[in-house]
Amino acid sequence: MASYSPLDAARVQSALEGMPVGGRIIYLPEVTSTMDVARQETAAGSEEGLVVVAEEQTVGRGRFGRVWVSLAGQNLSFSVVLYPNRWAMSRLSVAASVAVARAIGQVTGLSPSHKWPNDLHFHGKKVAGILVESALRQGGVQYAIVGIGVNVNADPSEMLTGGYQATCLAKELGQPLSREELLTAVLAELGMVYMELKGWGEVWEEWQASLDTLGKEVRVQWGDRVEEGRAEGVDGDGNLILRRADGSLATLTGGEVTLQS
């Protein structure tokens, strides 16, 4: 593994003392996936708000099983353990994406757009992604793990395949950023958004206002199913409302969105 300046996790944890998220941080140079470690911690009875952060993930995952590229000493890859109720669980991905966008704005002054359902972009290039995994038990949520990846100081574009475009905050800002400052801001915002989901209306409005998918002709695919049409809006749970060519409406809970030319 190449040498790098390790993340100062102790500094971040100290700044978040007494807050809902980040009061304990597990820092690891290399893991299969931070979500794997977080899942193991939930089995051991981990407290809510635990964060697992790693420099490199050998099998880091994005949505639909894609690989999330981790660049040691440059970017951020971490997972957060939460124990929400079912109502909050259905809103976590939107809440997390709003928290990350707010943190980016605080640290850089930049305003990323949201690509439905929970990616953050600049000029159509991905800068951050959120993945939520959960387990149910006896009708309730056993746990939820929010995985977050942010391209901070290195653009992984050259390592990506399939035409996916990416950028990083340093490129957009024109100067390198402190990973510790950004991670602290993200975890602080996530804690506030999560604890205040009773203010869901404000979070939802903020997310909807910055969606760059609405009003465009899109193709949405998940599994073997494909829907095409105009993205007309989102409902109160964050589902995409699509107007098909025949005028009928489809409500989509997830999928990979491609803009149609």
SS3 per-residue string spanning 151-194: CCCCCCHHHCCCCCCECCHHHHHCCCCCHHHHHHHHHHHHHHHH
Q: Which domain holds residue 231?
A: 217-259
Q: Do 234 and 114 have their domain in common?
A: no
Task: Count the residues in the chain.
Answer: 261
| Token pair listed for 193 | 């958004």
pLDDT of residue 64: 44
Rounded-to-integer distance, Cα 223 and Cα 166, Å: 24
Inside any domain, residue 40? yes
- The number of C-alpha atoms within 13 Å of 107 and in the hemisphere containing its C-beta is 27
Closest by CA to 171, choosing from 204, 126, 218, is 126
Q: Do 75 and 198 have their domain in common?
A: yes
Rounded-to-integer distance, Cα 58 and Cα 37, Å: 13
For 63-74, what is each residue's pLDDT tens digit? Answer: 445 555 677 899
pLDDT of residue 45: 95
pLDDT of residue 261: 47
Is residue 120 exposed (0-12), middle (13-18) or buried (19+ Cβ within 10 Å)? buried
| Token pair listed for 128 | 């951050």
Q: Do 223 and 185 have their domain in common?
A: no
Q: Do 195 and 228 have their domain in common?
A: no
pLDDT of residue 198: 61
Q: Helix and strand tally (H, E) in the chain?
A: 7, 12
pTM as predicted: 0.85
Inside any domain, residue 99? yes
pLDDT of residue 1: 45
| Token pair listed for 105 | 């704005």
- The number of C-alpha atoms within 13 Å of 35 and in the hemisphere containing its C-beta is 21
pLDDT of residue 90: 86
DSSP reduced 3-state for 12: helix
Yes or no: say if 7 and 55 are a contact pair by the CB < 8 Å rule.
yes
Q: Do 14 and 59 have their domain in common?
A: yes
pLDDT of residue 176: 96
Q: Do 179 and 152 have their domain in common?
A: yes
User: Which of 209, 225, 251 is the endpoint of a domain?
Assistant: 209
- Please identify every stretch of the chain with a pLDDT value under 50, giving residue numbers as ranges: 1, 63-64, 261
Inside any domain, residue 4? no
Q: Do 93 and 135 have their domain in common?
A: yes
Q: Do 118 and 230 have their domain in common?
A: no
Q: Do 148 and 228 have their domain in common?
A: no
Q: Do 32 and 136 have their domain in common?
A: yes
For 107-136, what is each residue's pLDDT tens digit? Answer: 999 999 998 888 999 999 999 999 999 998
